[in-house]
Structure 1
Amino acid sequence: MNTSAAEQIKVVPSEKISMKEKIGYATGDLACNFIYKTISSYLLFFYTDVFGISATVAGVMFLIVRMLDAVLDPLIGTIVDRTNTKYGRFRPYLLYGAVPFAVLAILCFTTPEFSDVGKIVYAYITYILLSIIYSTINVPYSALTAAITQDNKEVVSLTSIRMLFSNGGGMIVSFCVPFLASIFTKTTGNTATGWQITMTIMGIAGAILLILSFLNTKERIQISEEESKVGFKDIFTQLRVNRPLVIVCLFFLFNFGINSIINAVGIYYVTYNVARPDLVKWYGLMGTLPALILMPLIPVLYKVLGKKKLLFIALSCKAIGLLALFIIPSSMVPLVFAGRLIASIGTITSGAFTWALVPETIDYGEYKTGKRASGVVYALVNFFFKFGMALGGIVPGLILSNFGYVANHVQTETALHGILITLTVIPAIFVIIELFAIFFYKLDEKEHERVLAELNARR
């Protein structure tokens, strides 16, 4: 095993991270959610009901773009690991990617006066470019966690605050985006313009927050120039020797694919099944509001329950809430919101803690290979994350089309049933698969402590 390179790493594992820096780091995820949460939650609806393309065409486009994006992530990860600037390896991407990210998001929610084919081409170009820019920001941003600290308690704390801001961003998007779109639509008398102005506001706010995240973080885990020479083959090495990483990647595949489906179909469910489009913003808010209570409790829950029990309980809540929505009549709005709340508690908790597992798989990968390939690991995580979102992107469009969904019309009973099972039964099946996957994750607290002790001994 290569230990000479590992010995050159300078580490400050016991250094406490200030609350200012934790918040500064978290503003990066708030920024990404302002933009990408809007994209993942409302772009399908915008394409079908405002932009003017069919659900099938939009669904296929989501699959193609997200799979292309996912394939590019590992390449971006190797580039990030080779980056060496006066600002560090990861932080520069936040600075230089902020403005292009905002501009492309606005273009995605712009409706040009093109032919039907021209609109489809425009949608592909803008969405592909947005996804590439998002990857060049999100891969290094995620990897920045492992460059800030290796202390597991600090990682959980850092990730919890990050997820608090992330879910806070989701809450703002869920409530404010449909509200603003409605206000600006009424003000301008044009639905397309209303959505464009709304995305302009979210994009500018996101760009500013990314720059603030760059300014308020510090990379402490420094590696030598030799150690930064991570190649494309290291992707396959990690998959071969880093079993905890493989399990975490599967969590991301299923968990965020499910979330993508739920987020995309929620607006259809409330608009057509519940027949209360005025409640869309409140339904979205209920999906993120529990984060304000749950995120500060994650470190405590982790300490009391441990990672496996915490994940098992969270995923069980998610499955129960989704199946409750399937059973509850859509006319019983209070019970619908109760089911949504239960599912959200599980979604928020499992999602937050899954991100907290990634830094320890980086430690384990270094232990097995002698290389600290943070960018590669996060690129692999993002590959499975986005591949899941790709499946989550195409599933709603194809199912809705097959069940006879027609935009801006009263839906048939068949179409309403299609919306319901896409929102509930299909995601619940994959949650149950996740519950079984937990038992194959062997990097528990004691094993991780042993790995860190070995790494520190080498250094």
Structure 2
Amino acid sequence: MNAETKISNELKGFYKLSQVQRIGFGSGDLAQNLIYQTVSMYLLIFYTNVFGISAAAAGVMFLVVRIVDVIWDPIVGAFVDKSNPKMGKYRSYLILGGVPLTGFAILCFWNGFSGSLLYAYITYVGLSMLYTLINVPYGALNASLTRDTDEITKLTAVRMFMANLGGLAVGYGVPIVVQHFSPDGKINSKESGEAWFITMTIYAVVGLAMLIFCYTQTRERVVMNEKETENVKVSDLWTEFKHNGPLRVLAFFFITAFAMMAIGNSAGSYYMIYNVQAPDMLPYFMALGSIPAFIFMPLVPAIKRAIGKKQMFYVFLTIAIAGMAMLYIISVVPALKTQIWLVLVAQFVKSTGVIVATGYMWALVPEVISYGEHATGKRISGIVNALTGIFYKAGMALGGIVPGLVLAYVGFDKDNTTVQSAFAEQGILWLVAIIPALLLIVAMFVISKYELEDDLIDKINLEIEARHKN
């Protein structure tokens, strides 16, 4: 590409980003994971063991929050598309939403009103609504930085690297910090309440600092003007879903992918404690759920250039299924079951496939936004990200329901902390390997229907920019 073409493309929206800008954008996902992953992994045990409400009441609350999300997400999507704050169309919410989100995250892990279901509802619903107020515009910000597909691939690779860094800091770090501040050295006792409050304060404040850094390093450059977005409304979400075929494909991929991750993650601790009988190795097993990101996500742009986008999905979804098959075989062969290193290798293989495939799917969101803009003339990034948010939360909700149903079916004994029946162990293995593998096969079929190859999306983006120029 000669210099003249390069300058021309820059003017047409195909902007190049520096590595600092990519890291700055990715720090926003790191920040959100410091809060969201802490809530996802540990809020339930805090509510039941520290705050003092029943598991059933907490379960109902989690369902209510997901219902609120379904209503709230499209409202936020339409609002951010229609609004044009002076601090930035999308990035302003990193600050405007980040400050109150920090406060609500800390309050969620404060047991000053111990046992109060009303307090728990107010703080958790507030936290979830404020998280959406950041997450939806943050997703839209991704599509506003550039139209260049190679740049979006690099941006997504850095973003997923940073997101998994946040996940690792939470999965491995939170229990250690809580134990450090807890007077009895435990994370699941009444006495650990203050330790949880201190820990969440640390993580939330660091998260806010990351959101501020993200704000300083990003700038919206591919957005519609006020006149073009003044008629955006919530019903555009369903109109967009109806007419945007690639968006429908991506939405159903999100459901299967997030259901798979939620089921596998929730079953991991049961698997290491009861099937492998090595609870002391649980932190390492869980850490391997994030570590492959630091090795393979930086290689994604090169891999995509070498084999193509869709083929990359096929390869890494197959790797994930192979890792799950390894876990299953190791678990049913007595001679292999005692070899912990084999379990860890299988977890690494599985996580490698899952991280790359599910990480790269975020790079497709700007593509379906451009596809919709090409067809309708509206670049409603907030609406599209609200819709993908609904579907990934639907997948997470499904992933939260299935493990409980399976464990109930196989007669899991919650009072036994060391051993389960052979049938219960089999049920845990279904959750770790069989059900996630089946969902990945469905995901592979779904992604096969995705038609936006790089040359087509580049053509679409060039045509859009040509329209604006005229």
Superposed pair shares fold, TM > 0.5 = yes
Aligned residue number for residue 90 of structure 1: 90
Structure 2 residue matching 1:440: 3-state secondary structure: coil
- Aligned residue number for residue 404 of structure 1: 412
Q: Secondary structure at the match of 1:376?
A: helix
C-alpha distance after superposition, 1:70-119 (max 9, x if no partner) = 3321111000101112222101110012222222222333345645xx34
Q: Identify the residue that residue 429 of structure 1 maps to in structure 2.
A: 438
* Superposed CA RMSD: 2.2
Q: In the alignment, is the contact (CA less than 8 A) between 1:63 and 1:391 conserved in 2?
A: no
Report the Cα distance in structure 2 between the residues aligned to 1:277 and 1:102, rounded to whole angstroms.
Answer: 32
Structure 1: which amino acid aligns with 2:169?
I
Q: Deviations over 1:392-428 (max 9, x none)?
A: 2232334334533426734432444433322222222
SS of equivalent residue, structure 1 residue 250: helix
Partner of 2:451: helix, strand, or coil?
A: coil
Aligned equivalents of 1:107 and 1:269: distance in 2? 32
- Structure 1: how far apart are the matches of 2:142 and 2:55? 38
**Distance verdict in 2 for CA 1:408–1:85, change over 3 Å:** farther
For structure 1, the 5+ residue unaligned runs are 1-9
Q: Which residue of 1 aligns with 2:279?
A: 277
Rounded Cα–Cα distance in structure 2 between residues aligned with 1:186 and 1:408: 26
1:313-392 matches, within 5 Å, as: 313-329=315-331, 331-392=338-399
TM-score, structure 1 as length reference: 0.91
Distance change in 2, residues 1:21/1:287 (3 Å): same
Aligned to 2:44: 44
The yes-or-no answer on 1:201 pairing with 2:209 is: no
* Partner residue of 1:453 out of 443, 455, 462: 462
Equivalent residue number for residue 134 of structure 2: 137
* 1:90 alignment partner, SS class: coil
Aligned residue identity for 2:455: K
Cα distance in 2, alignment partners of residues 280 and 53 from structure 1: 26
Offset, 1:284: 1.7
Q: Report how many residues are paired.
A: 447
**Hey, what does 1:79 align to over in structure 2?**
79
Q: CA deviation at 1:335?
A: 1.4
Moved more, 289-298 or 263-272: 263-272
Deviation of 1:142 after TM superposition, in Å, equals 0.9
The reply to whether residue 126 of structure 1 matches residue 123 of structure 2 is: yes
Deviations along 1:189-237, one digit per CA (max 9) or x if unpaired, are: 7333333332222111111111111122111124221112211221122
Contact kept, 8 Å, 2:15 with 2:147, in 1: the verdict is no
The structural deviation recorded for 1:131 is 1.0
Tell me how far apart the structure 1 counterparts of residues 223 and 176 of structure 2 sit (CA, whole Å). Answer: 45
CA contact (8 A) 2:50 2:192 kept: yes
Specify whether residues 157 and 97 from structure 1 end up closer, same or farther in structure 2 by C-alpha distance, changes over 3 A only: same
Cα distance in 1 for partners of 2:212, 2:244 equals: 34
1:4 alignment counterpart = none
Q: Which has the higher contact order (CA 8 A, sep 6+)?
A: 1
Percentage of matched positions with identical amino acids: 42
**10-19 or 201-210, which deviates more:** 10-19
Q: Is the 8 A contact 2:29 2:162 kept in 1?
A: yes
Provide structure 2 residue ranges, at least 5 long, that are not aligned to the other structure: 1-9, 332-336
Which is worse superposed, 190-199 or 53-62?
Answer: 53-62
Please name the residue that 1:3 is paired with: none
